[in-house]
Structure 1
Amino acid sequence: MNMHFDHVTLGQRVLFGSGRAAGNLAAEVARLGAGRVMVIASGSESSLAEEVTSRIDVAVFHDDVAPHVPIAHAEAARAVATQNAVDLLVCIGGGSTTGLAKAVALTTGLPIVAVPTTYAGSEATNVWGLTEDARKTTGVDDRVLPGTVIYDAQLTLSLPVELSVASGLNGMAHCVDSMWAPHTDPINRALAAEGIHALAAGLPAVKSDPRGLAGREQALYGAYLSAVAFASAGSGLHHKICHVLGGAYNLPHAQTHATVLPYVLAFNAPAAPEAERRIAAAFGTGTALAGLDALRETLDAPQALKDFGFDETQIPEAVELILPYVPDSNPRPVTATDLDALLRAAHAGETPSL
C-alpha cells in the first residue's frame, strides 16, 4: 500500500536539562529581548517560580490560576498583561497554569516561554481551552503555542507520586488517542509509540523512587512526545469525553483522563488492530489493554470517576453533551448506548473489557 499523508510539525524550541531551568530561562529572555515579563504561577508554586526566575527581571507575578481556565480568570489575566505593558509571558506550573498563559496569548499575541512542573503536555500544543457556564470550549490557534519549553526534572520533585501518576497517565492518554485521532499519520503514531514506551518506563520509576531524577526525566520526555503527537493528530474520542466531563462537572483534569483511558482503549482497540498492535508493542505486552492494565496496577492508578465527584445521575446528561463531539473518524461508531455503558463502567471502576 502506498504511504500518503499530510503532516505539519509545529515550530518550537525545547531546552531539556535537570537543574538548568533558571539559567535556560535567563538565556531565553535575553535571546528574545524581552523587557516586561509576566510570570504566571499558582500560589502553591510561588517559591518554585521565584527560584526559576531568580536571574531575570519580572514586571509582574500573577497567581490567579484555576482548573479548566474559567473565562473570568482569563479576562483578569489579560487585563494584568495589558496594564503592565507585558511583552513576554512565562508560565511555571501544570496544565492549568499553561492554559491561562495560552488564554492571554490567544487575544494578545504575546509569546510564551513555558516551564512545566507536571506531565500534562499542554506546553507542546497549540490547543487552548476555556470554561464558561459549566461548558468547556477548546480550539486550535498557533498564537497559543509556547515558543520555548524549558524542561527540568528537578521542578517535578515536589509533585507527589499520586499526582505524578495521574499527570503521567494524562500524557499516556495523549499517546493512545493520537493513534486514531482525526488527523493522525505515521509520524504521530511513531511519536506516540515512543511516548508510551517512555512513560511506561518512567512512571513506575517515579513511584518506586520519588526523589530520583531518572524516572522523572523519562516521564517528562514521554509527556513531551505525547503532546507533540496530540498537537498534530487532534482530539480523539478520549479527549472529547474528558473535556466535557471536566468542564461540565468540574472534575480534576489529570485524574479524569487517567480513569477514562482504559475504557476508551477497550472500546476502540478491536476496531483498530494496527494501532492496537503498536500500543501493545510499546508496552511490550501481548495486547494494548493488558499493557495499560499492568501499568495502572503497578502505579495504583485512579480507578473510578465516582471517586472524583461524578454522580451516576449525571451520566444521561453527559452522554447528550459528548455525543455531538464524537469524531466521525473514530475507528468504531459510537452510539448513545455505547457512551452510557462506557461512562457507567468508568464511574463504577469496573474492569475494562474488550
Structure 2
Amino acid sequence: MIGDFEHVTFGQRVLFGSGRAAEHVAAEVARLGARRVLLVASDRDERVAQRVSSGVDVAARCSDVRPHVPVANAERARQLASDVDADLIVSIGGGSATGLAKAVALTTGLPILAVPTTYAGSEATNVWGLTEQARKTTGSDDRVLPATVVYDAELTLSLPSALSVASGCNALAHCVDAMWAPRVDPVDRVLAGEGIGALAAGLRAVHADPGDLAGRERMLYGSYLAAVAFASAGSGLHHKICHVLGGAYDLPHAATHTAVLPYVLAFNGPYAPDASERIAAALGSDDAVVGLLELYAELGASHALRDVGFAAADSAEAAAGTVAEAARLILPAVPPGNPRPVGEEELTALLDAAWAGRPPTSVATTGAA
C-alpha cells in the first residue's frame, strides 16, 4: 500500500552533455536575456571558469568563495552584484561556489545558472546555508533554486581521485538522508535508490580510472537524483549533524559527510527497515551498513572524523570535551520524526565512535530502549 503523500517537484532546466558546457552556458544566457552576468568561481576554478564563460559578457567576477559561506563573503558578493547591476549569476565550481551564488540570490532575487564541477548537488536544491560566528544557519527558499543547471562530466576530470570519492560519498549521503527525512515520500525513495546505484557504480569506475568519463557521467547523474530527492524530502539527521560540525569547527564539507554517513546509517537503519532494504539493494548487498563499508573499503574512504580535523587531539580523553560540546550543539537541530529517538547520550556516543573510526555497528544499539 502506497498511502497518502504530497510531493513537490521543483521547476528547473537541466542540460546534460560532456564537452558542451561553454555552448550550453552561452545559449542559456541568451535564452534568459541576461546582459550583465556576475560570475562566481573560486581562484582554483579560474581556468575552467574562463573556458566555460568564454561566450558570455561577464560584468564582474566574484572569487571570494569559502566553504560554508561566511556571512561577510556573502555580503561582499551581494554588494558586487549591486555595483554592476547584475541580472544573472553564473556559478562555476563546487558546492561552495553554488552556495555563494545562492546567498546573493536570497536577497536580490537574481536567477542562477549553475555549472557544477563536483558532485555536491547544491545546484538542484532550494536549500541555502550561511555561517556566522561558528554557527551555520540553513533554510529553504525557492529564490535560491538555480533556474538552469549545466552538467558536463569533462569539467570534473581535473578533480583528484580522493576529492572525487569524498564528493561522491557526500552525494550518497543526500540519498541516504532522503530515505527518512521529515518530508520523505515514495517518489523521493525511488529517486534516492536510483541515485545510490548510479553513484556506487560511478565511484568504483572513477576510483579505478580517474579518466573514465562514463563513470563521471554516472556520478553526475546520481548526484543530481540525490539532490532532487534531498530537496523534496528535507534535511535529515545526517545533514543536521554535518552542518553543525562544519559551521562550528570549520571542517571540510564532503569529507565530513563521508565520515559521518556510516554511523547515521547504522544508528537509524534498524528503526527504518524499508529504507535499509532499499539502500542495501542499491548497494548490491544484503545489509546496508555492510554494503556501504565494503564500498568505502574499495574506495579507500575514511569514516574517522579525526582524519578530517574534528577534535584534533592526542587521545580520546583529550577529544571527549569537544565531542560532548558538539553533541550539545547538534541536539536542538535534530529533525522531527527521525526514525529513532535522539538524545544527548546517543549523539555523544555516535560522535565519539565516528571520531575514533570505530565500527559503525557500535552505535546501532546505543541508548536503544
Deviations 1:259-312 (A, max 9, x none): 000000000000001111111111111011111111111110123111222112
Q: 1:342 aligns with which of 343, 350, 360?
A: 350
Range moving further from structure 2, 1-10 or 160-169? 1-10
Q: TM-score if structure 2 supplies the norm length?
A: 0.95
Structure 1 counterpart of 2:254, one-letter code = A
Would you say the 8 A contact 2:2–2:186 is kept in 1? no
Who is 1:266 aligned against? 266
Would you say the 8 A contact 1:19–1:154 is kept in 2? yes
Q: Runs of 5+ in structure 1 lacking a partner? A: none
Who is 1:284 aligned against? 284
Who is 2:224 aligned against? 224
Is 1:255 equivalent to 2:255 in the alignment? yes
Who is 1:233 aligned against? 233
Q: How many residues align?
A: 354
Tell me the CA shift for residue 203 of structure 1. Answer: 0.5
Is 1:323 equivalent to 2:331 in the alignment? yes
Q: TM-score if structure 1 supplies the norm length?
A: 0.99
- SS, match of residue 129 in structure 1: strand
Structure 1 counterpart of 2:113, one-letter code = V
Query: 2:89 and 2:20 mapped to 1: Cα distance?
Result: 19
Query: 1:7 and 1:24 mapped to 2: Cα distance?
Result: 30
Deviations 1:244-263 (A, max 9, x none): 00000000000000000000
Would you say the 8 A contact 1:91–1:101 is kept in 2? yes
Would you say the 8 A contact 1:166–1:302 is kept in 2? no
Q: Percent identity?
A: 67
Query: 1:203 and 1:346 mapped to 2: Cα distance?
Result: 22
Is 1:208 equivalent to 2:208 in the alignment? yes
Deviations 1:35-72 (A, max 9, x none): 00011000010010000011111111110100100000
Query: 1:3 and 1:328 mapped to 2: Cα distance?
Result: 20
Query: 1:90 and 1:106 mapped to 2: Cα distance?
Result: 15
- SS, match of residue 59 in structure 1: strand
Who is 1:195 aligned against? 195
Structure 1 counterpart of 2:32, one-letter code = L
Q: Runs of 5+ in structure 2 lacking a partner? A: 312-318, 365-369
Moved over 3 A (4+): none
Alpha-carbon spacing, 1:2–1:217, altered in 2? closer, same or farther (3 Å): closer
Deviations 1:114-164 (A, max 9, x none): 000000000000000000000000000000000000000000001101001
Is 1:155 equivalent to 2:155 in the alignment? yes
Would you say the 8 A contact 1:266–1:289 is kept in 2? yes
Who is 2:42 aligned against? 42
Would you say the 8 A contact 2:262–2:303 is kept in 1? no
Over aligned residue pairs, what C-alpha RMSD do you find?
0.7
